[in-house]
Amino acid sequence: MSAGARQRRAADILGNGPAALTAAITLARRGWAVSVRGPTRSTKCTPRIDLLAGSAVATLERLGVSRDDLHAVASSCPGTWSNWEADGPAAFDYLATPGGPAWAVDRTAFEHLLKERAVEAGVAFQSAIESLRFDAATFEHSSEEERGWLILAAGRLASVPRSADWPDDRLIALVGLGRMSASAEPPDRRLIVEAVSDGWVYVLAGPGSILCCGVITDLPALAGKRPQNFAADAVGRTERVGLFLQRLDGPLGFTATPVPCRWLPLVADPKSIRIGDAHASYDPVAGRGLWEALRGAEEIALTLDREPERLGRLERRSRYAYIRYLVEREEMYRRGGDRFGSGFWMRRRTADPDRQRAIIASRVFTRNQSLGS
């Protein structure tokens, strides 16, 4: 086998989330030697329930995850109730996905299921906490002759560069998980979202009797305040979220975690690529994180296997998709600013000049794409 063949058929994946595992399974099933490197999941990791689009079922089946498997780690979510622009009559209800119901996924159980499928496919796992500090320039391979592809799939890489055109627009998520009282009525299985002056609040019922509540804000709004008190105050200003949480056995303990929102080039260097949150991550309210991680990782892995020279085309397409998302997001923040006129919403629109330049550039790019087509 030639050196080029050895390079093409080996991959080191840095990270062990859904995107990393999807790429690992996809490549291993096509004969690649795949090694996944990342920290051992701590039991102290912030738990959460993620929303997964129903259209992801086909992708999961290709990864060896059946509908029965999915039922074991997720519950159906028929749609979303959102109170975003105003109270009462302005609230609206819509399906989470046009193709049918979405899924409320127990993220820990879901990742464990994907890891089982990866092991079955022959993926090797190496626990290396220090690996999170590696990047394409510092990662060491055993020898240049055997060097395969490096796939960066850890969304919180310390060495990820900050770009003036694509700022690392960080939000803060305060996440709490609790169990419903045995005597409580069955929960509304929709995703419930409500805007408040300092951000937005959501609650989602997961498998069994688990409820997940999240408060999304930014660091200036949270500065000098205890996360627990801040979250309790935000929930207290909601309508349906507050009613949901009255069904719990006890109070929620909220944990703060940063939420990156950024786009970075897919191709990091001639032998390294980024996938998942290391490539493109979205506001939580977009509901695209988990689905984009699975869909994008599979598509990129297949391209790497069949036509690596086409990775540049995927990068341009993903950049265009992210630009469209920024334009849509700007309108959402404008509506929040018009409604509340508070610090959080005004900062989302005006505080970061880099982000404003990105928005202006995105509109020019979108117009040029439209004229070109």
Topology, domain 3-75+104-160+263-320: FAD/NAD(P)-binding domain (3.50.50)
Amino acid 135 reads D
Q: What residues does each domain of the chain span? A: 3-75+104-160+263-320, 321-372
pLDDT digit string (tens) for 29-70? 999 999 999 865 554 555 678 888 888 888 999 999 999 999
pLDDT of residue 4: 44
Confidence check: pLDDT of 158 > 90: no
pLDDT of residue 331: 79
Distances (CA, A) of 205 to 151, 173, 182, 192: 33, 18, 14, 9
pLDDT of residue 12: 94
pLDDT digit string (tens) for 220-254? 999 999 999 999 999 999 988 988 888 888 888 89
Among 137-146, 247-256, 308-317, where is mean pLDDT lowest? Answer: 137-146
Q: Which range has highest mean pLDDT (112-126, 128-142, 310-324)?
A: 112-126
**Of 307 and 257, which is predicted with more confidence?**
307
Share the mean pLDDT of the chain. 80
**Of 99 and 18, which is predicted with more confidence?**
18
- Virtual CA dihedral for 323, 324, 330, 332, nearest 10 degrees? -140
Give 70-123 as a 3 state SS string: HHHHEEEECCEEEECCCCHHHCEEECCECCECEEEEEHHHHHHHHHHHHHHCCC
pLDDT, average across residues 253-278 = 89
pLDDT of residue 156: 64
Q: Which of 84, 124, 51 is nearest to 241 (CA)?
A: 84
State CA 79 to chain mean position distance. 19
pLDDT of residue 313: 94
pLDDT digit string (tens) for 181-221? 877 777 788 889 999 999 999 999 888 888 899 999 999 99
**Cβ 41 vs Cβ 108: under 8 Å:** yes
